[in-house]
Structure 1
Amino acid sequence: MTGVGDRVRSICLALPGAAEKTSHGSPAFFAGKQFVMLRHQGHHDHDFPHLWCAAPAGAQEELIASDPERYFRPPYDGHRGWIGVRLDGLQEDDWTELTETIEEAYRAIAPAKLLAELDARG
């Protein structure tokens, strides 16, 4: 997952005020609160690399319904509306959607000051 993980890390850390910390043995990204966690292959019987991320209300159901092969309800955080995203088999076109999903996760938890900074970037 190194190449994919590095790319996810770059997307997350490009967001205002984002920081990486280890949480439960995995790389996690915070902007005040956690918004993304990278998970390795074999975690909770998921035999594929994936991430868990915060999501706006209703997004979990919508994304899982739109592509149940890519999106899933993660254990522990799924009840809070978080989504799981498979990272294996990503094509170049998929990165645009993944970047948008990560930004939505950030927007779901980041404080207003950081959101204003993101919006000012255009």
Structure 2
Amino acid sequence: MRFRVGQIVYVAFSRAETTMGFAFPKEERAALVAAEPERFRLPRMSELRFHWVECVLATLEPAEAREFVVDAWRMVVPQKLSRAYDLAHPDGPG
């Protein structure tokens, strides 16, 4: 299953729904993976050029997963829409 804005995928789940890939800043992903390699991993070599990271879904709390999804969505929508979301959800995602 994939979630898109236009043609840009910002979240995708494996067929078995055991992993979730999501948009994530390239410059921050190595630190995320290094900090928790049992939870996060880099995408395949062929996908390293994209702003993407993968995680083991069972290791995420629902609120944490929601935050990653919302942050990934923010990377692909216009800032105007992201700001409108912030106004509607002043306490953050959820």
In structure 2, which of residues 39, 44, 58 is the aligned counterpart of residue 70 of structure 1? 39
Secondary structure of 1:109's counterpart equals coil
Task: Give the distance between the partners of 2:74 and 2:49, measured in 1 at CA.
Answer: 19
Q: Which structure 1 residue ranges, 5 or more long, are not aligned?
A: 1-26, 42-47
Is 1:119 the counterpart of 2:86? The answer is yes
1:19-68 deviation digits (Å, cap 9, x = unpaired): xxxxxxxx111233221011123xxxxxx711111112423112101110
> TM-score normalised to the size of structure 1?
0.61
Runs in 1 of length 4+ with deviation above 6 angstroms? none
Instruction: Give percent identity, aligned residues only.
Output: 24
- For the 8 Å contact 2:26–2:50, the answer to whether it is kept is no
Secondary structure of 2:49's counterpart equals helix
Residues 43-122 of structure 1 mapped to structure 2, 5 A cutoff = 49-75=18-44, 76-88=46-58, 90=59, 94-121=61-88, 122=90
> TM-score normalised to the size of structure 2?
0.76
Provide the aligned C-alpha RMSD in A.
Answer: 2.0
Secondary structure of 2:75's counterpart equals helix
Task: Give the distance between the partners of 2:84 and 2:63, measured in 1 at CA.
Answer: 21
- The one-letter code of the counterpart of 1:60 is R
- For the 8 Å contact 1:51–1:86, the answer to whether it is kept is yes
Task: Give the distance between the partners of 2:66 and 2:48, measured in 1 at CA.
Answer: 20
- For the 8 Å contact 1:56–1:104, the answer to whether it is kept is no
Q: Which structure 2 residue ranges, 5 or more long, are not aligned?
A: none
